[in-house]
Structure formats: structure tokens, C-alpha cells
Amino acid sequence: MIIAHRKPLEEIVEMLGQLNPVLVLGCGGCTSICLAGGQREAEQLAADLREDYGNRGGQLEVNTYTIERQCNADFFADIDRLAGDYQAIVSTACGAGVQFVAERYPRLPVLPALNTDFVGFDKDVGWYEENCRTCGDCVLGETGGICPVTRCAKSLFNGPCGGTRADGTCEVDPDIPCAWFEIHKRLREQGRLELITRVRPAREWQNQIRRTVIQEPYRERYGK
Amino acid sequence: MAAAQQATVDTGKVKDLLAAHRAEMKRYLSHCMHCTLCAESCFLFMARDKDPRYMPSYKVLNSLGVLYRRRGRVERSFLEKIKKIVWRNCVLCRRCYCPVGVDIPRMIALARAVCRSQGVYPDFDEQGHQESWL
């Protein structure tokens, strides 16, 4: 799931400038589940904006509407009718959702209300941890299900570096376990320690371009 | 949301939402032949031992279908009931298949929009974690 958190209110207010009226567009997908941008959070943001403008002697006309997903055109029918009534949309979706809305309404400023953090999992209510950098070259099958790209401070494909502490933590932060130390432990438990000696080709991190995935059965349909 | 839970249903708002999509939705509802071919395209139906309550057609007919049949005149308890159908029993993966072209996900999304318009939607905080949404 994509994890995000709300930007500071001052930053959202600064982005808005003189734009008024405004629609706060909630998302019923990932940001709803991580308690950052669902209907409740969108309504809270609208209330905070109203109060902030009121405290400064101004008035912001702000309404909210929440659709099921901001990254899919099928859910925009109601917003297509509403969008023309506003000078800006403040989206509480992830970065992908914001861009989708911006592409759909190119004449309208579409502003992000959230900072999109990572792909991760729920540790508990309101507690999320990063586990995947969506690098597009998954090695979890060889690393005991522990992602070195995400969990190694240096994103090493062939670790560990020389900075593992004696207690198995990372030299960058003593509160973080060394990913490769953890991988070693996990592979040993599984009796697959030989995998750690496998050398993986260096990943090309530079000059990355926007990625697109079209599944094999659909290539013909899209002429790709 | 607690205040919204106690409020009466704003029937006018519900009717407006239904009216905005009436032509399309009425067409879909009348075109459903109850053939059940959509059933096996739903992974939840398959994962729940083919429980008929997870059939896509069951889900739309018992949520949006009832909303149109009652012309939007529903109690809050009804919205709470269909909340389970349109959120817990459907993840809106958009993989359901209808041989006559009924757009089932759009119907579920509209039923959700009606619920949302009355402040009825899932909690993902402490309370929400106590009941499974899948």
C-alpha cells in the first residue's frame, strides 16, 4: 500500500495563494487506509483551511468530495461535473493520483495536500513501515524476503558493506538493523545461505525514465 | 463521522446523486439477466467458497438496485447495511465481467458515493481495524 502524510497546513495555504473557491478531493484508496487522505481527512483539511482563513480575516469557499480512487478514470464522473465550479483542486491522493487529476483537468491548478512517502505495510493502526522502493528489479527471492534496496541505507545489491556494527545494526543509524545482517540470518535459517554469495549485476540507477507496465496479453491491444 | 451517523438521511442529496446517473444505471439494472456469468470473475466469490452474497450481480442489485427501487427514500440503517456490501464484499478491483456490458464497478462506485454523501464510509482507525474489510 502507498503511505503518505499530510503536508503542513501553511504549505497548502501558500500553494493556494488567491485561489478561491477550492475543492478538496479525497481519495478512497491507499491514502484513505493509511489515515492521510480519505473522506474524513479531506473534511478535516477543509475545516482547517476554513479556520485558518477565518483567523486571518479572510474567507475560503471550500467543499469536499471523495471518490473511490484518483488514479483511475472510471471514478471521475461526478468530479467532471463539479470541477468547473472551482479555481483549484486540493488532492489528498498520492503523487500518482494528483498527477492523474492534473492531467484530467489541465486548466485547473491541482495541488497536493499530502507528501507521498513509500510503499509499505501496516505495523499497527497508524504505524507504517517502508518495504519496497518499486525498483523494478526484485531480488527478494534471493534475499530471504528482505529488500536490500529499501532496508540497506546504501541500497546495496551485493552486501554487506563494511559498516555493520557488532550488534548487527547499521553504521548509519544504530536503531536500524543492517539489512544484509538480517538477510544472512534469514537465509541461514532457511538453509539457503549459498544465495548470499551470488553476485548480482550492478543496478543502473542513473538516467531513469518514467516506467510503464503493459502486461503481455494486452500488448497487442495497445500496439506495444 | 459520529455526528453524521446520528443525522437523518438527506434524501434530497441521495435523489440528486441517483438522478445524475439515472439513465445509465437504469439501463444497466434492466439489462442484468441474472445469468450469474459475472460470479466467477470475482476473486472474492471464488475465495469465499462461491458464497452467492459475493456475486457481483447480487452486490449491485442489493445496494444500488434497492436505492433506485426505493427512489432514494432509505433509512440510515439501510446505508449502514449496504456499506458492508459495497466496501467489505467488494474491493472495486474492476475485474468483474458481464457478457452484456453492464459496468458493475461503476454501479458499486455510485452506491459508495451515495453512502459517502451521508457520511457513511469505512473507518480505518481503531474502530475500523476491529472489523475486517476483506
Question: CB–CB of B125 and A78 under 8 A?
Answer: no
Q: Does the pLDDT value for residue B4 go beyond 80? A: no
- The pTM score is 0.87
Cβ atoms of residues A91 and A25 within 8 Å? yes
B20 CB neighbours in chain A (<8 A) are: 78, 81
B7, pLDDT greater than 80: no
pLDDT value, residue A124: 86
Contact A38 B121 (CB under 8 A): yes
Query: What integer is the mean pLDDT of B29-38?
Result: 93
The DSSP element (H or E) to which A10 belongs, if any, is helix A9-16
> Which residues 6+ apart lie within 8 Å of A137 measured at CB?
A203
Q: Which residue of A has its CA nearest to B20?
A: A78
Partner A contacted by B83 (CB < 8 A): no
Across chain B, mean pLDDT equals 91
Q: For residue B5, is pLDDT > 70?
A: no
Tell me A146's DSSP state.
-
Decide if B49 touches A, using CB distance below 8 A. no
Average pLDDT for runs of 10 along chain A of length 224: 96 97 97 95 98 97 97 94 97 97 96 96 88 90 95 92 96 96 97 94 77 86 88
CB contact under 8 A, A74 and B109: yes
From the list B17, B7, B34, B25, the residue with the least C-alpha distance to B103 is B25
What pLDDT does B2 receive?
46
Domain boundaries of chain A, sorted by first residue: 2-118, 133-217
Task: Specify the pLDDT at position A121.
Answer: 87
Where along chain B do its domains lie? 20-119
The gap from C-alpha A134 to its chain's centroid, in whole angstroms, comes to 10
Under 8 Å between Cβ of B115 and B86 = yes
pLDDT of residue B6: 62
Among the partner residues A72, A81, A125, nearest to B129 by beta-carbon distance: A125
113-152 of A, contacting B, C-beta below 8 A = 125-126
The Cα–Cα gap between A43 and A106 comes to 24
What's the pLDDT at A224? 84
- The domain A2-118 having CATH identifier 3.40.50.2300: the answer here is yes
C-alpha cell at B115: 453512502
Task: Give this complex's ipTM.
Answer: 0.85
Window A:24-53, CB contacts with B under 8 Å: 28, 32-35, 38-40
Pairwise CA distance, residues A67 & A58, whole Å: 29
Phi first, then psi, for residue B70 (nearest 5°) are -90, 10
Chain B residue numbers with beta carbons less than 8 Å from the beta carbon of A125 are 125-126, 129
Nearest CB among A66, A81, A125 relative to B125 is that of: A125
Does B124 reach chain A within 8 Å, measured CB to CB? yes
- Position A169 scores a pLDDT of 97
Q: Closest Cα of chain A to B46: distance in Å?
A: 23
CB contact under 8 A, A77 and B21: yes
- Dig out the grid coordinates for B80 from the structure: 449502514
Which pLDDT belongs to residue B27? Answer: 96
pLDDT at residue B132 is higher than 70: no
Give contacts of B17 with chain A, Cβ < 8 Å: 78
CB B83 within 8 A of CB B122: yes
Per the structure block, which three cell numbers stand in for A11? 504549505
pLDDT at B134: 47
Q: Could you read off the pLDDT of B97-109 as tens digits, one per residue?
A: 999 999 999 999 9
Task: Give the residue carrying C-alpha cell 516506467.
Answer: A211
